[in-house]
Chains A and B, each alone.
Chain A
Amino acid sequence: MKKLLALMLALVMVLSLAACGKGDGDTTEASGDTVKIGVLLPLSGSTASPGGYQLEGIQLAVDYINDNGGIASMGGAKLELVTSDTTGDVETGMTEIERLITVEKVSALIGPYNSTVGAATSPIAIQYGVPYIITNAVADNIMQNGANKYVYRVNYGASDMTPFRGMVVDYLGNLTEAGKFEKIAIIYDAGDWGTSENESFKEVAKEIGAEVVVSEAINTDSSDLSSVVNKIKSSGADVVFAGIFLNDAILFTQQMKEYNCDVQIVGSGAGYADSKWLEALGNTAENVMGTSDFNPSFGLTNDDAAALYETYLEEHDNETMPLETSNGWCGMATLAMAIEAAGSADREDIADAMYNLELDGDSLPLWFSMFEGVKFNTEGDELGRYNQNELLGDTAGQILKQVQNGEWQLVWPLENATAEIIFGK
């Protein structure tokens, strides 16, 4: 009797060990009908506003895909998001990505908006072998981890915007009396993103032979930018490019007006692209320009996209879609297409599918963007970046907007313009 009992206990132990062993060895969890996607975004802190917009874009894509049959190649499996708040902080981001990978056992990751967090977390994704779609987070160093098949970026990187910036600088320069800009001022956020912006604008200035008279880094959420405004005013700059976040964008624009500094402001995405910026400033925002991603409100060519956008506008009080939302949609839909191609929730399969992915300009991820297609530069580019989308087009899907009569108007590229630019003599 004892022997039988011992034998049965041994059998139970062996069977439970076998069950455990299978679990630990696996890289993913596709619990039957869902594919778990880990989302890393700042949902609190100084970049909570764009973080929230980006999450909306990701959720929009997930909802659309789930409502339209889910992942067909997996029998209609649904996408499930596991969100975590990085607060925009590097340490938190690193803890959270580890948690999503090892505890939540997600099949893939998407995020993190902040360049600093992106730079810190991309090596971790590579280390664990988890596909990671970078949304926003444009600093180039995020993609400079050497050849790998795990970290991808569908939207532009900082240097992808340099040619566009060159075009804008040329165009605006032509409208001045001198026919080109002689002196350029730059104000930028002290983090990775802002620093990339600064480098990019400095390069553009060099190309046109303009002098960079002010290049000032500011801390996010500065309390007072009057010193910078003062400097810009005395510098004789023709234009000031501002790569700063929302709060600083508001403060800076306000103070430029207060100190009666009429140097043209050209914001660079981020703070200047946020609708809250325009709300906060009212009249003070008049004639300020900003570069931004193409906004669906300026016209969509795809009917399905237009229909979805109508619904989006209704649910958002007619607030135009922020660029972070369209980039969130773009990244998530691309990931979904890779999962579809892979036909599995396995991390390696998805990574391989992303590696070989090729989409054209009408594909789902690009509904709200102006990129030309999706194909990742897996061989690496001249900057040593791997897996950056190389089908962004010359303008990297960017446009130049200007506030006229309290509303944003698209002023460049001219063929898409909704109003004439107000600048120059």
Chain B
Amino acid sequence: MQLFLQALLDGILLGGIYATLGLGLSIAYGIMHIINWAAGQTMVIGLYVSYLLITKYGMDPYVTILFTFTLLGALGFVLQKTMINRIIDRSGDRAGANVLLFTAGYGYVVTSVLEMIFGTLSVTATTRYTGQSIAIGFLYAPLPKLISCVIAIVATVLIYIFMHKSELGRAIRATSQDRNTAQLMGINAKLMYCIGFALSFALLGLTASLLVPYYPITPYIGISFSFKALIIVVIGGEGNVKGAFAGGMFIALTEKILGSLVSDTFAQIMVFCLFIVVLLVRPEGLMGKRVKS
């Protein structure tokens, strides 16, 4: 019983992070129908930025959020404005494929540059939260995971409010539903794309700061995160906040519970199986809307 409950708690703690990771990918896909193949690698940039701030300036890992959020957000904005918008303009129907390829290439570049700067060995940030945990009855919640989860959930809620209640958020969603009509209504679609992509990157930066207190970093871990994000988005439903949250939680709980009851390998296999099943049976994901073709 203790085994199961601890696994449940671990799953919830992880779910928050998976939610923001999934959101990072989901917003880009939902708004612009762009799959950022290098979501994971982008997050790794955030990991290194956060790591540097912590080790060189003794910054609190959660304060680094301000930096990773804005820096990556800026990076996303610039990428969209200077490169991706151009690709979309020139590609017509093939925009999706071309942008995907672009992000794949960009991911490669990111990994290589990070490898050049930081080397290949793993680094882990030691913070004042490292190694500590809160006891909840006979269960344990490692402190960094707990704080990260709380911040992740708060961030998810804030993004939801932004997307659904603010003018800008509604403009972004309008652009995603129908770009041409939105433009007719006076919305600068290209700008919305830039803001959307910036937000997507910013969320990946946030996720990075949340992971840094307990995650060993190398330039190569991006790929597994990219996959994870993709699975979360597919299972949860792309383009919407509830979907990312549901997907993130669902995957995290599955991983942790099956991991403890059987093994981590089995859990991973099950997650992939779920991925395939969802694609076949309910491709819009748990919370997605069925797209009429």
| Nearest CB of B to A232, in Å | 10
| Nearest CB of B to A355, in Å | 37
B267 close to A (CB within 8 Å) = yes
Listed stretches B96-104, B131-139, B168-176; interface member: B131-139
Asked whether, in the complex, the Cβ of A228 is within 8 Å of the Cβ of B264, the reply is: yes
The CA-CA distance from A423 to B206 in the complex, in Å, is 43
Given A48-B121, A216-B263, A258-B132, A247:B216 Cβ within 8 A: yes
Asked whether, in the complex, the Cβ of A257 is within 8 Å of the Cβ of B131, the reply is: yes
* Residues of the B chain whose Cβ atoms lie less than 8 Å from the Cβ of A280: 124, 126
Listed stretches B3-11, B241-249, B275-283; interface member: B3-11
Closest B residue by C-beta to A282: B126
Partner among A44, A217, A222, A259 whose Cβ is within 8 Å of the Cβ of B142: A259
Partner among A221, A227, A233, A257 whose Cβ is within 8 Å of the Cβ of B221: A221
The CA-CA distance from A219 to B115 in the complex, in Å, is 21
* Residues of the B chain whose Cβ atoms lie less than 8 Å from the Cβ of A258: 131-133, 140, 142-143
> Which of chain B's residues 119-176 have a Cβ closer than 8 Å to chain A?
120-122, 124, 126, 130-133, 135, 140, 142-143
Partner among A227, A246, A284 whose Cβ is within 8 Å of the Cβ of B131: A284
* Residues of the B chain whose Cβ atoms lie less than 8 Å from the Cβ of A72: none
A44, A222, A223, A251, most chain B CB atoms within 10 A: A223
* Residues of the A chain whose Cβ atoms lie less than 8 Å from the Cβ of B126: 280, 282
Contact with B along A366-406 (1 / 0, CB 8 A): 00000000000000000000000000000000000000000
Contact with B along A254-297 (1 / 0, CB 8 A): 11011110000000000000001000101110000000000000
Partner among A49, A231, A247, A254 whose Cβ is within 8 Å of the Cβ of B214: A254
A218 close to B (CB within 8 Å) = yes
| Nearest CB of A to B13, in Å | 9
Asked whether, in the complex, the Cβ of B3 is within 8 Å of the Cβ of A221, the reply is: no
Given A230-B6, A247-B122, A257-B131, A221:B140 Cβ within 8 A: no
Question: In which size bucket is the chain B interface?
Answer: 35 or more
> Which of chain B's residues 16-44 have a Cβ closer than 8 Å to chain A?
none
B183 close to A (CB within 8 Å) = no
Partner among B3, B120, B215, B263 whose Cβ is within 8 Å of the Cβ of A48: B120
Asked whether, in the complex, the Cβ of B264 is within 8 Å of the Cβ of A227, the reply is: yes
Asked whether, in the complex, the Cβ of A283 is within 8 Å of the Cβ of B131, the reply is: yes
Partner among A227, A260, A276 whose Cβ is within 8 Å of the Cβ of B133: A260
> Which of chain A's residues 181-228 have a Cβ closer than 8 Å to chain B?
190, 216-219, 221-228
Closest B residue by C-beta to A245: B122
Partner among A46, A255, A284 whose Cβ is within 8 Å of the Cβ of B218: A46
Contact with A along B230-259 (1 / 0, CB 8 A): 000000000000000000000000011001
B2 close to A (CB within 8 Å) = yes
The CA-CA distance from A225 to B216 in the complex, in Å, is 12
Contact with B along A36-64 (1 / 0, CB 8 A): 00000000111011000000000000000
> Which of chain B's residues 75-124 have a Cβ closer than 8 Å to chain A?
115, 120-122, 124
Given A227-B256, A250-B216, A259:B6 Cβ within 8 A: yes
What are 16 contact pairs spanning A and B, CB under 8 A? A190-B265, A221-B216, A222-B264, A225-B264, A227-B7, A227-B255, A227-B259, A227-B260, A227-B267, A228-B264, A230-B3, A230-B260, A247-B122, A250-B122, A258-B143, A276-B121
Residues of B within 8 A of A (CB): 2-3, 6-7, 10, 14, 115, 120-122, 124, 126, 130-133, 135, 140, 142-143, 214-216, 218, 220-221, 224, 255-256, 259-260, 263-265, 267
5 closest cross-chain pairs (CB), A and B: A227-B259, A258-B142, A44-B120, A234-B3, A258-B133
